[in-house]
Structure 1
Amino acid sequence: MQRERLMRWASLASVATAFSLILAKLVAWLFTGSVSVLASLVDSMLDAMASLVNLLAVRYSLKPADEDHQFGHGKAESLAALVQTAFICGSAIFLIFHAIDDLRSRSEIGNEQVGVWVILFSIALTAALVLFQGYVVRHTGSVTIKADALHYRMDLLTNASVLAALVLSWLGYKSMDAWVAIGIALYMLYGVREIVMESFDLLMDRQLPPEQLEEIETLVMSVGGVQGFHELRTRRSGTMPIIQLDLEMDGSMTLEEAHDIAERVMILIKKRFPGADVTIHQDPV
């Protein structure tokens, strides 16, 4: 399927980008000793670990339903997203303490030009990946790819901040390097909130958004022969919507007629929500 292929390519691109950035930033840190470059390096190392987790999670979540997992393996995506947030929080706390220590010791950095060129390369590579991930998220709705894309969007701001810190240090404002590192760490902590809430909602089987519930109601009531419905229950397993409802129809119609109406309702819902698992119970009015 196109959706599965896009998710796999996005995961592979993320891993390749993360390891490329690690090598580049390691060189920059060794040449400059900059704590803000170190902050960006640690962030990229965590991105690499998170991307590997994503790659495994996407492969597992795309496995078809089996006897033990009859609704598929989609929740593996949410678990992977929570693992990513743990990585981010741990690295942010480490960076804050390291930057504070750097401020106390009044460390100096050098070879700022090398750092500037490496960070410019990092910004270009990261921007290309974010554009591709955005395309994949729009066409798949994957929460794992969305979480990974959030990391790299944060990286763009992080790299821009590091670039500013290196330039300011070059101009003589040495303490800005550590302050930028602290700002990056705080921004990393702020950015995980959305991932945590969305992953928690998926794991706790939160219903679909109100606007999607209204769409389902409109689709159901647009089919001739439907007199009403009740007990609408919805949730998601990864990218797969799960929709269950009781359909109300004239009790005097034949079983075949009732089945045909329910089938038309199911086709409409699946057309609007591709890949959805739809269960319809038929009730006589």
Structure 2
Amino acid sequence: MRKTSNIAFLSVLSNSFVVLLKLVVGILTGSVAVISEAIHSSLDLLASLIAFISVKISGKPADSNHPFGHGKVENISGTIETLLIFVAGFWIIYECIHKLLNPEPIQLPFLAVLVMLVGAIINFIVSKIVKKEADRVNSMAMKSNAFHLLTDVYTSLGVAGGLLIVTLTGWHFLDPIIGIVISIYIMVEAVKLMKEAFPPLLDARLSIDEEKQVLSLIESFNNEYIEIHDFRTRRSGAQEYIDFHMVVSSHESIEKTHELCDRIEAEIINRFNNAQVLIHPEPESKSEN
């Protein structure tokens, strides 16, 4: 968990530097696209701070008040981050429309292009580091953070390319249009992220593919039990919760049934490292004898 927290903090540092760089250059050049990118990166910074805090909280062990742990903090974090994207998106569109109606020339355009490229490179490297760690620990907050950083890369490159076109053609109206396109893009991507972050807050099941994997692991032991039923799954942050009832022969001893449950649980956890598995064994009914 210390490694995860350190990587989450790395994104805070990188975003702080990129935001400051873009904001200063955006003000110097007067480019609404650059300023829009600075706002976008500011949200990335806020998202990184939220992710850093949520990772530390979600990593706390279960306690008397939170017997199922603190994993949903990450899903709350991811949901808040996507809402922030929408707020920024609408604000950027508003500013771009104002600039479109009142166009102004861009000062020091090549400096703006250089800053966009530097920001893109920094965030690309950090996003790959964060995504790798997010996949390793299956952290929703870290995945959201990595996504924020990667969208910043794409939008920064888009602004850089647009500013070059504006400089070469003198079409200053392109600057706010680029800002609007960026806003729409990040809001569309935010919808996708919301679909992943929000459902676990309502105890939504794991994906169909994940459930198939779990059932396949259970069925590999089907010669040792009669059937399973009441199969349920849900996700909370980085943890998967899996429970089901398993019918065994009424002639089996408690020790042997318990040992079977342990082996099934170990097999599932070997595939889903953060899984919490609960198996309720039941003896077969007399009518099945």
TM-score (norm 2): 0.94
* Unaligned runs of at least 5 residues, structure 1: none
User: Aligned partners of 1:50, 1:108: CA distance in 2, in Å?
Assistant: 32
Q: How is 1:255-266 mapped onto 2 (pairs within 5 angstroms)?
A: 255-266=254-265
Superposition deviation, residue 107 in structure 1:
1.4
Q: Give the structure 2 partner of residue 249 of structure 1.
A: 248
1:29 aligns with 2:36: no
| Equivalent residue letter for 2:238 | T
Contact 1:247–1:280 (Cα < 8 Å) also in 2: yes
SS of the counterpart of 1:226? coil
Structure-to-structure mapping, 1:1-285, within 5 angstroms: 4-171=1-168, 172-223=170-221, 224-285=223-284
Cα distance in 2 for partners of 1:100, 1:211 equals 44
Aligned to 1:106, what secondary structure does the other structure show?
coil
- Kept in 2, the 8 Å contact 1:18–1:45? The answer is yes
Report if the CA contact (8 A) 2:109-2:167 is conserved. yes
Amino acid at match of 1:213: E
Give 1:75's aligned amino acid: K
Tell me if structure 2 keeps the 8 A contact 1:168–1:174: no
Contact kept, 8 Å, 1:221 with 1:227, in 2: the verdict is no
Equivalent residue of 2:133, what SS?
helix
Q: Secondary structure at the match of 2:231?
A: strand
Residue 64 of structure 1 aligns with an amino acid whose one-letter code is P
Q: Distance in 1 between matches of 2:164 and 2:94?
A: 23
Per the TM alignment, residue 6 of structure 1 is displaced from its structure 2 partner at its CA by 4.0
- Quote the Cα distance in structure 1 between the aligned partners of 2:158 and 2:55: 31
% identical equivalent positions? 28
Which amino acid in 1 is paired with 2:157? A
* In structure 1, C-alpha distance between the alignment counterparts of 2:178 and 2:267, rounded to whole Å: 52
The answer as to whether partners of 1:29 and 1:115 remain within 8 angstroms in 2 is yes
Question: Structure 1 residue runs of 4+, over 4 Å off?
Answer: none
- Quote how far apart the aligned CAs of 1:5 are: 3.4
| Alpha-carbon contact 2:57-2:70 (below 8 Å) kept | yes
SS in structure 2 at match of 1:246? strand
Query: How big is each residue's C-alpha offset from its partner over 1:211-243, in whole Å with a ceiling of 9 and x where there is no partner?
Result: 222222222232252222111111011111111
C-alpha deviation, 1:34, in angstroms: 0.4
TM-aligned CA deviation for residue 98 of structure 1: 0.7
- 1:85 deviates by 1.4
> TM (normalized to structure 1)?
0.95
Judge conservation of contact 1:79–1:199 (CA < 8 Å) in 2. yes
Deviations 1:116-135 (A, max 9, x none): 21111111101101211221
Q: Give me the CA root mean square deviation.
A: 1.3
Distance between the aligned counterparts of 2:219 and 2:41, measured in 1? 50
Asked if structure 2 preserves the Cα contact closer than 8 Å seen for 1:31 and 1:114, the reply is no
Deviations 1:133-191 (A, max 9, x none): 22112212211111111111111111011101221221112111111011111112111
One-letter code aligned to 1:132: I
Greater mean alpha carbon deviation, residues 33-42 or residues 221-230: 221-230
2 CA distance for matches of 1:11 and 1:23? 19
Match of 1:104, as an amino acid? Answer: L
Q: Distance in 2 between matches of 1:91 and 1:57?
A: 22
Structure 1: how far apart are the matches of 2:89 and 2:211? 38
Look up the SS of the partner of 2:247 in the other structure.
Answer: strand
Equivalent-residue separation in structure 1 for 2:116 and 2:212 (angstroms): 47
